[in-house]
Amino acid sequence: MLGSVLLAAARSERMRDVVTSVPLTRGVVDRFVAGEDLDAALDVVRALSEDGLAVTLDHLGEYTRDVAQAVATRDAYLRMIAAFEERGLAAGADASVKLSALGQALPGDLALEHAREICAAAGRAGMTVTLDMEDHTTVDPTLEILGKLRGDFPWVGVAIQAMLRRTEGDLRELVGEGSRVRLVKGAYAEPSSVAFQSRREIDRAYVRALRVLMRGDGYPMVGSHDPRIIEIAQVLAAGRSPSSYEFQMLYGIRTAEQRRLARDHRMRVYVPYGADWYGYFMRRLAERPANLAFFLRSFVSR
């Protein structure tokens, strides 16, 4: 119930105004966000790379209905990719892109055009791009744009949410050779008509989806912090080349486990940065009670 409240708050402009006006200690936001500017994020990326961890960088922002903001988001990704290349961090790195931040809700093909520019820049730099998946209303338009992008950039990946009832069917269309798919449980408040609701149902759906991915010819990206899911993924991956799949975790969560996995697997850290951290931050609080406790303790200890 509390998680549902926090997820609803993540979409509330009124709550955004309240939370972002509170003088949070940097330790709270920095737990999950690698800084508000690109230089801070790149310092984090370099440190992770030195520890043997791959990265995917997300410039925070979503649900824009303003053309100028969509253009600004595109430009932020182009600057990010250029900075990766200049600092020797591009090889093997990935950019995570929310199409809603690139103008998906605006008329025409603005999001597709912006995504093409980002993919072209990433390809020249030796990076890849993964399309983040948002709430269930964005699945079809996101997969449509994915198909168009893969015509020129076959390495473009996509995130798929196990909690959605349609996911197994979607995955059967996405397990072709070279297809990069990040499987996550899902972090949006969805109605029961389209999504499983209980943790047990979602866990089972995740394993079913993971089985489809591991049996396919694509490149599974196992996005989970759940120790049991990670163990199951390793069992299902038996017989696959270690270079044919990877694990992914969020910045600031289970960091010791990230480094442990990196000793024997490709382990990628999802690194968010930017001033528009509210929606992402609230979803992280909703995922685990311990995250919310960390947030509340910051006010007691100030």
Quote the CA–CA distance of 130 and 28 in Å, as a whole number.
Answer: 27
- Which residues are catalytic, by number? 132, 182
CB 29 within 8 A of CB 277: yes
Cα 68 from Cα 85, distance rounded (Å): 26
- Residue closest to 248 by CA, chosen among 228, 265, 235, 232: 265
